[in-house]
Amino acid sequence: VKPDGAIAALKVLKSSGSEEVDKKGLAFIRHAAPFYQAPKGISTDQTYFVSFPLVTVTKDTDTPQE
């Protein structure tokens, strides 16, 4: 995330096993941007990494899958 809250880069670190679910997860995060700006005093010369864990529920089990 850039200091202004925009997405600098986005990628899946651990696949759900479904390309479609992974793509929808990325789209979900893109849709949520921009994020809050970095607090004052934080270096604006850097890009910060943020993790967005997403949990899916399958129709078969209704059990959250990480």
Cβ within 8 Å of residue 39, ≥6 positions away: none
CB 57 within 8 A of CB 37: no
Task: Name the pTM for this structure.
Answer: 0.66
| Mean per-residue pLDDT, 3-27 | 88
pLDDT band at 23 (very low <50, low <70, confident <90, very high): very high
Higher pLDDT, 60 or 12: 12
Higher pLDDT, 59 or 19: 19
User: Can you give the C-alpha Rg of the chain in angstroms?
Assistant: 15
